[in-house]
């Protein structure tokens, strides 16, 4: 069986998969429409610039909309309108996951909200929410209500109700990503650790979890999308066992550079070779960082905790560091040491750490090389590397390759598994994090939203032998960015939630003009039952919604997310009757030919609920790949 592959790269040469054309909204025909006349019922389409009143006929079947400017209240300041009657203040709760362990590394249970102190940007802040899980069971936190059969408030793709972690809230469920970095791995070392990873997946994950397998080798590919069938992940590991591992090429280039330095007749010539090697390594690191960045961005919209098991043979933090040591020792000069900081890639990994923290991703990094010994003592180096330099390289090289692995794990609250030949015990120890943790909720609003904040968690009373781990910071997200991330993750990973019971009627793509695009009509039926309508000054209630539309192509190329404001304004006496109706909106999407995943998201701008619905569509004729 060939593993499923999905590219996450976005080819710059390809045109955007989608563009939008907007259509007016109407109130669906129903009992309310049969009773009310145009004189007593008015609907409102919210424009980005003005509030437009739409008068609908008694039948409410005609899509024709008459637009009029709203009147200004004479008692209000000039230019004030009804829509200033209320304002929505965005407040986001960021969950900071904390792991507390004793001297033996075992989880410490039984702590309460009062045991912790949280500092944001150096200042203490209140803990608004407290959630504790011990052995996979919630020991403190709000109860999660049981699913209601056939309820329109249930997600379209609900998390598995057969979970053996009863009561764990969706925002604390686990998504695991196994990331095999073929660009920075030795294939023999990779295949040696695969059996342990298979066992780890079988033992560590529960039916409430989902896992995905991703590889990177100059391009990022999802080899197995998120699944609850972890045996499929194990099968996919077998499939990639024959993949090329490029760290062996890095080792070959390293040896060639050391030979050139050894044969150099001057320090300046040797330094040139060292710089060339360092620049090549820096390029490789940037490619790796860019791939990780794309992967992390794609995970941002998934609710809950994410554990990224990063498997590699190490990544250089100081590109070419060993070469500058070789030049310095061969020519007995200290000048080359000054070159080392110029090739420091720490900032690139700091960017990765911040992005991971923004999306609640913890790194569990595995050095597939295991316990590294006297690698440069081998006979292949004997002819051109003297004994003193060998000792230096055996110290510098492993530490340099493991530094990013330790750094990513430390800053994101995860664990680094390095210098261990038997990694299964270490992985099983790491799996304790998935079943026992504390989550401390802290609020952000106003100017805080969208900013990255450093965070530190301490115990109120110091307890000897206890150790705390947590992510070093977080980014508070605006509602708009959160919805965009949810839509993109839904398009890529087929994970959607539809608490408002929105129904989408997908039309048939038809050719549009001569530009090669196709027009896809999308009709949304938005039940008003659970929407929040707030009173205005003029004896009416107002609904404010925002539509988000996007698409991805077969190779992961993504369109821009288009938005459109929607809304409704009703007389107070008709609000209850309207709860049985649906707002109908038609949106037309211009799509380039090919297989597409199209998604829509509806945000209740007052109630803050978001519903996401996606579907795969074939645009244009199916390409014939024969011959």
Q: Tell me the per-residue pLDDT of 532-577, one tens digit each, with 9 for 90 and over.
A: 898 888 888 999 999 999 999 988 788 899 999 998 888 988 898 9
Q: What is the 3-state secondary structure (H, E, C) of 182-224?
A: HHHCCHHHHHHHHHHHHHHHHHHCCCCCEEEEEEECCCEEEEE
Weakest mean pLDDT among 199-208, 346-355, 418-427: 199-208
Q: Using the 8-state DSSP alphabet, how is residue 269 labeled? A: H
pTM over 0.75: yes
Residue 82 confidence (pLDDT) above 60: no
**Angle, to 10 degrees, between the axis of helix 387-412 and the axis of helix 346-358?**
20
Q: Which residue has the higher pLDDT, 72 or 253?
A: 253
Domains of the chain from N-terminus onward: 15-88+479-619 (2.60.40.10), 174-433 (3.40.50.410)
pLDDT of residue 557: 84
pLDDT of residue 234: 87
In this prediction, residues 408-425 reach a mean pLDDT of: 97
pLDDT bin (cut points 50, 70, 90) of residue 21 is: low
Q: Which residue has the higher pLDDT, 230 or 328?
A: 328
Residue with tokens 């498997």: 311
* CB contact at 8 A, 627 and 509: no
Name the percent of the chain lying above pLDDT 70.
79
Cβ neighbourhood burial of 199 (10 Å; 0-12, 13-18, 19+): middle
pLDDT bin (cut points 50, 70, 90) of residue 86 is: low
* CB contact at 8 A, 468 and 459: yes
In this prediction, residues 612-625 reach a mean pLDDT of: 85
Weakest mean pLDDT among 42-51, 170-179, 297-306, 457-466: 42-51
In this prediction, residues 28-46 reach a mean pLDDT of: 35
The mean pLDDT of the chain is: 82
Neighbour count for residue 232 (Cβ, 10 Å): 17
In this prediction, residues 599-617 reach a mean pLDDT of: 93
Q: Tell me the per-residue pLDDT of 430-479, one tens digit each, with 9 for 90 and over.
A: 999 999 999 999 998 877 788 999 999 999 998 889 999 999 999 988 89
Which of 32, 143, 142 is CA-nearest to residue 529?
A: 32
- What DSSP string describes 315-383? --SBTTHHHHHHHHHHTT-SGGGGGGGGGB-HHHHHHHHHHHHHTTEEEEEEETT-S---GGGSGGGTT
Output the furthest CA–CA distance in the chain (Å, rounded). 97
Task: Give the full edge-to-edge strand order of the sheet including 473-475.
Answer: 123-125, 116-120, 452-459, 473-475
Give the whole-angstrom CA distance, residue 484 versus residue 478: 10
Q: 59-63, 313-317, 510-514 — which one is most confidently predicted on average?
A: 313-317
Helix (H) or strand (E) holding 578: helix 575-578
pLDDT of residue 16: 61
Give the whole-angstrom CA distance, residue 352 versus residue 581: 46
pLDDT bin (cut points 50, 70, 90) of residue 157 is: very low
Give the whole-angstrom CA distance, residue 449 versus residue 447: 6
Residue 390 confidence (pLDDT) above 50: yes
pLDDT of residue 122: 96
């Amino acid at each position: 069986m060939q593993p499923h592959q999905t590219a996450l790269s976005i080819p710059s040469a390809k045109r955007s998969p989608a563009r939008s054309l907007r259509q007016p909204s109407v109130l669906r025909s129903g009992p309310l429409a049969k009773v009310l006349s145009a004189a007593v019922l008015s609907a409102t389409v919210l424009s980005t610039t003005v509030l437009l009143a739409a008068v609908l006929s008694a039948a409410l079947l005609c899509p024709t909309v008459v637009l009029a400017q709203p009147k200004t209240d004479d008692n209000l300041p000039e230019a004030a309108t009804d829509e200033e009657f209320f304002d929505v203040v965005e407040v986001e709760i960021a969950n900071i996951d904390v792991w507390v362990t004793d001297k033996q590394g075992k989880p410490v249970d039984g702590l309460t909200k009062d045991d912790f102190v949280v500092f944001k940007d150096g200042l203490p802040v209140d803990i608004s929410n407290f959630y504790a899980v011990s052995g996979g069971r919630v020991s403190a936190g709000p109860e999660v209500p049981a699913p209601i059969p056939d309820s329109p408030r249930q997600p379209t793709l609900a998390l598995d109700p057969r979970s053996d972690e009863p009561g764990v809230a969706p925002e604390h469920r686990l998504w695991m990503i196994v990331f095999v970095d073929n660009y920075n791995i030795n294939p023999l070392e990779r295949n040696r650790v695969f059996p342990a990873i298979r066992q780890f997946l079988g033992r560590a994950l529960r039916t409430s979890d989902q896992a995905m397998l991703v590889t990177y080798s100059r391009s990022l590919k999802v080899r197995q999308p998120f699944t609850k069938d972890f045996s499929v992940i194990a099968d996919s590991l077998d499939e990639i066992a024959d993949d090329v591992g490029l760290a062996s090429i890095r080792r070959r280039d390293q040896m060639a550079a050391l030979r050139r330095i050894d044969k150099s007749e001057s320090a300046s010539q040797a330094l040139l070779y060292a710089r060339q090697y360092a620049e090549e390594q820096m390029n490789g690191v940037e490619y790796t960082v860019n791939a990780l960045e794309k992967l992390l961005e794609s995970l941002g919209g998934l609710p809950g905790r994410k554990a990224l098991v990063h498997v590699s043979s190490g990544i250089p933090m100081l590109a070419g560091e060993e070469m500058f040591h070789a030049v310095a020792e061969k020519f007995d000069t200290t000048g080359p040491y000054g070159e080392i900081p110029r090739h420091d890639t720490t900032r690139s990994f700091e960017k990765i750490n911040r992005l991971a923290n923004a999306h609640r991703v913890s790194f569990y990094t595995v050095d597939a090389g295991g316990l590294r010994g006297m690698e440069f003592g081998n006979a292949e180096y004997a002819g051109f590397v003297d004994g003193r330099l060998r000792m230096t390289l055996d110290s510098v090289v492993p530490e340099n390759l493991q530094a990013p692995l330790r750094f990513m794990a430390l800053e994101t609250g995860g664990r680094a598994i390095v210098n261990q030949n038997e990694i299964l015990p270490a992985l099983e120890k790491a799996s304790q994090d998935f079943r026992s943790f504390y989550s401390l909720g802290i609020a952000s609003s106003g100017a805080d939203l969208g900013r990255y904040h450093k965070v530190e968690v301490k115990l109120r009373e110091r307890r000897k032998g206890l150790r705390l781990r947590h992510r070093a910071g977080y980014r508070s997200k605006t509602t708009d960015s959160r919805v965009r991330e949810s839509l993109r993750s839904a398009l890529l990973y087929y994970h959607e939630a539809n608490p408002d019971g929105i129904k989408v009627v997908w039309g048939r793509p038809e050719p549009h003009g001569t530009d090669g695009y196709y027009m896809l009509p999308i009709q949304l039926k938005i039940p008003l039952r659970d929407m929040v309508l707030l009173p205005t000054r003029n004896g009416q209630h107002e609904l404010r919604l925002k539509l988000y539309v996007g698409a991805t192509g077969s190779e992961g190329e993504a369109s821009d997310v288009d938005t459109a404001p929607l809304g409704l304004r009703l007389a107070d006496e008709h609000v209850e009757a309207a709860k049985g109706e649906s707002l109908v909106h038609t949106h037309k999407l211009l799509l380039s030919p090919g297989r597409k995943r199209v998604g829509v998201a509806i945000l209740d701008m007052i109630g803050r609920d978001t519903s996401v619905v996606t579907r795969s569509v074939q645009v244009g004729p199916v390409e014939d790949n024969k011959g």
